[in-house]
Structure formats: C-alpha cells, structure tokens
C-alpha cells in the first residue's frame, strides 16, 4: 500500500475519498479506453500519487501532453518529482476547474481525453455542473471524458455528452463504475445511425 496515499487520506478523507490507489487492473482497463497511436492531449483530474498518470505517460507518444490537476500539495510535489525528466507532463497543483486557464497557458486548444478520479459525488451541485461544462467545452469533437467512481451518479448530471457507456469493474477495492462520455461529432442529418461503440478517432489541436 502507498504510505503517502494513506497519510493524505487521513488528513483529508473527503477530498482523497479512498484509502488505496486504483488497482493495476483498473489502471489497465482505463488506459485501454484511450487510443495512443498518435500524439494526444490528455488532462487528468485528481491523479493522487500517479498510478494512472504513469501508465498514460508510459503509453503516450513523444509529442503528447499530459496535464495533471492535483489539489493536494504533497501529491502534487511527489508527481513533480516523478515526472521531473518528462517534458510532456505538466503538474498543476490546483483545482481541476482551472483546466481552461491551464490549457490557454500551455497554448493548447483542446483535449482528446480527460480522465477523472476526483470524488464528483461530494461536490456541490453548482460546482459539479460548472466542472462538467468546462470539461465538455475543453474536449475536442470526438474526445472522451472518462471517469472511475464508486457510484454512477454523475451520469444523470453529464447531460452535455452525446454518448455514455458504463461498466461495473470488480477488480478494484472498492469496485468502480468506469464511464466513458463521448463528445460526438455533429450528425449529418439522417445519414448516420448511432455512434459506433469504440470510435476514438479524435483530434485535439495546439494553438499556433
Ligand atoms: C480517489 S483519489 C484518486 C487518486 C488516483 N487517481 C487513483 O486512482 O489512485 C482522488 C484524488 O483527487 C484529488 N482531488 C479531489 N478534488 C479535486 C479537484 N477538485 N481538483 C483536483 N484534484 C482533486 C484528491 O486530492 C485525490 O488525490
């Protein structure tokens, strides 16, 4: 077990919301929801001690960018240490809600994927709605917002997204819902049927 994780949980149980990091099986399952065959812009909300971040960094290609938003100072410092030699990774010690500002600061227009491990269910409704709107706006068309949560209550609030698919994943303590919300490309009138299940053909862009 990660000592740092448990220590930070004892200090801020509601913010950290779990006594252990995600399992290896969950990390792999989540990573498989992303297509790493080309450079990607990925934001992660609440990386904690970095289990998902390390796997994403391991899989993503050289011109990719990974922005990590972590509220907890000790975790943020530890992430900075872990990724000190990796220019693709940017650690932001701050709220996930600062995503639009940070994208602008890094000259990035949109994200291909946004991954979240923050405890959405304890956020006040206004904060939850505002963060969902920012998340939707920050995604490229075709991009995905991926969450892993103990409850699937966010689904009823994330109405901005055109497509959502959930699975209940048992190989984690506690078991988690993994949900992929997709920002769909506009439909060309009656030409197209429902979205294909795993169409991850996304394209984020960097400002000139
Ligand atoms: C359940 S832990 C998940 C940690 C890690 N992603 C994992 O899977 O093991 C939630 C993390 O989200 C962070 N967090 C909570 N609210 C946040 C927010 N609004 N913005 C950024 N990070 C936040 C907490 O500090 C904590 O590190």
Domains of the chain by residue range? 23-182
Q: Ligand 1 in contact with 115 (CB < 6 A)? A: no
Distance 113 CA to ligand 1 centre (A): 17
Distance 208 CA to ligand 1 centre (A): 32
Measured CA to CA in angstroms, residue 52 lies from 47, 93, 125 at distances of 7, 17, 27
Q: Ligand 1 in contact with 45 (CB < 6 A)? A: yes
Give me the pLDDT at residue 19, please.
77
Probe residue for ligand 1, chosen from 19, 43, 44, 46 as the CB with the greatest number of ligand atoms within 8 Å: 46
- CA-nearest residue for atom 18, ligand 1, is 95
Q: Ligand 1 in contact with 50 (CB < 6 A)? A: no
Structure tokens at 125: 């409704």
Give me the pLDDT at residue 38, please.
97
Probe residue for ligand 1, chosen from 117, 129, 174 as the CB with the greatest number of ligand atoms within 8 Å: 117
Determine if the pTM surpasses 0.85.
yes
Give me the pLDDT at residue 203, please.
53
Give me the pLDDT at residue 208, please.
40
Measured CA to CA in angstroms, residue 112 lies from 104, 137, 174 at distances of 15, 12, 28
Probe residue for ligand 1, chosen from 1, 15, 43 as the CB with the greatest number of ligand atoms within 8 Å: 15
Contact status, residue 173 vs residue 24, Cβ threshold 8 Å = no
Rounded to 5°, the CA angle 177-182-185 comes to 170
Q: In terms of CATH, what superfamily is 23-182?
A: Vaccinia Virus protein VP39 (3.40.50.150)
- Locate the DSSP E strands across the chain: 41-45, 65-70, 89-93, 111-116, 139-149, 163-169, 176-182
Give me the pLDDT at residue 102, please.
98
Distance 168 CA to ligand 1 centre (A): 20
Give me the pLDDT at residue 51, please.
98
Give me the pLDDT at residue 186, please.
66
Give me the pLDDT at residue 188, please.
61
Per-position pLDDT tens, the chain of length 208: 478 887 878 888 877 677 789 999 999 999 999 999 999 999 999 999 999 999 999 999 999 999 999 999 999 999 999 999 999 999 999 999 999 999 999 999 999 999 999 999 889 999 999 999 999 999 999 999 999 999 999 989 999 899 999 999 999 999 999 999 999 876 664 444 444 444 444 555 455 4
Strand order in the sheet with 65-70: 89-93, 65-70, 41-45, 111-116, 139-149, 176-182, 163-169
Contact status, residue 123 vs residue 28, Cβ threshold 8 Å = no
Give me the pLDDT at residue 196, please.
43
């Amino acid at each position: 077990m990660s000592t740092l994780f448990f220590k930070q949980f004892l200090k801020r149980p509601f913010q950290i919301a779990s006594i252990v990091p995600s399992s290896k099986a969950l990390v792999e399952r989540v990573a498989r929801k992303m297509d790493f065959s080309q450079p990607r812009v990925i934001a992660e909300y609440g990386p904690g001690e970095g289990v998902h971040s390390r796997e994403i960094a391991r899989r993503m290609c050289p011109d990719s960018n990974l922005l990590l938003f972590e509220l907890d100072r000790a975790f943020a410092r530890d992430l900075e240490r872990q990724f000190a030699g990796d220019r693709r990774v940017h650690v932001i010690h701050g709220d996930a809600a600062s995503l639009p500002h940070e994208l602008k600061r890094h000259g990035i227009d949109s994200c291909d994927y946004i991954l979240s491990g923050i405890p959405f269910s304890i956020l006040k409704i206004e904060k939850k709605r505002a963060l969902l709107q920012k998340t939707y706006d920050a995604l490229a068309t075709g991009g995905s917002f991926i969450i892993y949560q103990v409850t699937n209550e966010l689904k009823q609030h994330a109405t901005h997204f055109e497509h959502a698919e959930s699975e209940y994943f048992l190989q984690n303590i506690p078991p988690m819902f993994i949900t992929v919300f997709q920002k769909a490309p506009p439909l060309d009138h009656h030409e197209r049927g429902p979205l294909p299940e795993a169409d991850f053909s996304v394209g984020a862009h960097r400002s000139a």
